[in-house]
Structure 1
Amino acid sequence: MVYSEMTIRKEKISSNDFFQVERWMNTAPLCICSTQTVWEAAKIMEQTELDVMPVVDENDQLVGLLSFRTILSNLLKDSTGSSLIEDIPVYLYDSVRPTDQMTDIVKMQAECLPVVDQSNKILGIITPKEMMNFYTKSMSIVQKKRNAIEILSSVLESAYEGIAVVDEFGILIEFNEAYSRFTGISREEAIGRHVTEVIDNTNLHVTVKTAIPERGVIQNIQGQDMVVHRIPIWEGEGRIYLYYYPTI
């Protein structure tokens, strides 16, 4: 009988910048210069149906956010709209950096979040449209992960070969029925323990560090020489279509 051993080496989605603001922001935000007039701002916002627009100075540095309500209020006082944007109040704003996490800015509950660099120069913007795109893609990935976990669990339990799966620390996160019968150690007893405490002469805890596959290796288990395969499986986009996160 051939016993297979697999390792899963974690590469979090965030390592691929999935959650970073710069991946989701609108990199060509519509801004208005503080030296333009209220009338110009009114025309732009009416044509684009924007409720809020960033105000920048002549160096593209963020000054504040201008709301359509502020524009209307000013036009009621001066129908010519000749006032400069820099002469009317723009409201205080929260800004974020490109490397900030989308999961953090969700808590800010802002209708418009400018993205700025260290010099306060505007690089992009996060609006409800970008947030909805982030939500949609995130939920899609979560669903794919859930499906992959169910498929993996089904494969493990139906496999005739003994299969053990460890995380990057060498901790057993899966131990199928075939391996359990051979070792006499139940799945419940095995999972959560270091692989060296459960499987004789294993090298899985080393394989997970080196990421070098080992196929057809002779390993003495329970006093018997067995042919084992140690196969690293990487998580993350661009490797294989498999996502599995241990809850340890």
Structure 2
Amino acid sequence: MIEELPHPVILISEDDQVVKFNPYFKELLVRIPKGGCEVSAIFEEWKYFSDQKIATGHLAEKKYMFLKINGYTGEDSYRVYIGHETAFLDGLTKHVKEVEKINRALDAIIENSYDGIYITDREGITLKTNSAIERITGIPKEYYIGKSVDRLIKRGILSSSVTHKVVKQRRTVSVVQENYAGKETLITGSPVFNEDGEIDRVVTNIRDLSDLNDLLDELTKVNQLNSKYKKEIEKLRNIPSRDRIIFASEKMKSIEEIIDRIADVDATVLLLGETGVGKDVLARMIYTGSNRSVKGEFIKINCGAIPPDLLESELFGYETGAFTGASQKGKPGMFELADGGILFLDEIGELPLPLQVKLLRAIQEREIQRIGGTKPKKFDVRIVSATNRNLKEMVRKGEFREDLYYRLHVIPITIPPLRERRDDILPLIDFFLQNTNDRYNLQKKLDSYVKDFFFRYDWPGNVREMLNLIERLVLTTSNETLTIEDLPSDHKELYLSDCACQSNPLSLKEAVELAEKKVLTQAVQKYHTTYEIAEALESSQATIVRKLKKYEIKSNELTR
């Protein structure tokens, strides 16, 4: 047997004499001894280690390590050694160390994973877990080792086996289940294939969803809070979104199309129209529809609401000590604050002539100079202005500079009053009524007579008057349904006068219904029960109840 080994083998006597060696050993010898000789005569260097169980020696300029074969003494108690080239052993040792290093790194990764890691063979026998599984399940990780998933299911630790599903389907499988500790977990099992394409291992990842669910709840709360804050900020800044612009008329549709076309250009815009038609809303539409809404702010200044001696400092700002009472830090003007955005000059027709000169220069040169300052400041601002006055007539009278007028008049947009776009009245009424109800948690509504009156009313104060009137009616009346009787006296007189002057007077039925509704509305305010009303009006209680229901007349104080 020794003769056939592919390694050098040598037999050594008790006194270190070479007794015999195999052919492989013989090939390594430079010279072959004729008779018995000592080991040192063959090897350049021969050393024993560990009580002669290991020895080393050099053959053919290579170092060999010889291991004593246990349990074999040979003839006359000879020691038998089998040799291996140390270069091979050194490489093998290095490879083993590298594998051990990789295993340690892999163990560290598995152990430090926040998710639970659970590794089984294809039969479902647990081979390895990590500490995270203790946190998720409340069971020590050592408990799982060596146990099958079937046993864990029987003990109630697992509700089902992902491992068996992975082996059966030969693919990654994910399930959501509640574990032994009552926690909702996401369990994902993945197959590991060997070189023959068979499943060798199943690696299962266990993620505690309770943390994710808590984060999702927190995120939902934050989003709701952000939405609330956004609405409050928009309310404070009075910046409506584009879909809050309510209209149904072709005239306003044309204006919206113009605004869409000119929103992203930098030409000046002049908004014309009566008081309350919504010029400031359209100015903000231009801002929100342009790329300036992400570059800068929308800054509004009412040229008619600020005293002329303060208006200049508000527009252009001032330096430290520019005048008595000035801030010690100075103050930026509206042009600086609106840099990158839009400066909305409301009531531009009220701007004093001296300031018109400075405004014209600022627009032309794209720079301003603070009061008390010596250096000009460049700005990037789009100018949108608005007025309810006839600027062309003011130019003719010398009340407004002609050159400034043409600077502002590049894109004029005239907003018609409500009386010229009646198709917008009812949609606006519905919007303002719903908005006011939502704000105050109410459910008020208008009866058909009020809506008809509102539609025919000329609204001299336009949209602003409509908003104020609806809010006043909602907050100051007790009935759920608002009637003609709830209108302010001046509006009520207009309604009655309008009814009297109509070319098509009310039918007898309509007149009777109107009279009945008026009488019943007054009665519920005076009496406390339907029986008292019936007695006062000389009618039956059942009729009174039916009529109140018909006309939707309610009172919080009225009982049956």
**TM-score, scaled relative to structure 1:** 0.39
Structure richer in strand, relative to its length: 1
Structure of greater relative contact order (alpha carbons < 8 Å, 6+ residues apart): 1
For the pair shown, the structure with the greater C-alpha radius of gyration is 2
TM-score, normalising length: structure 2: 0.20
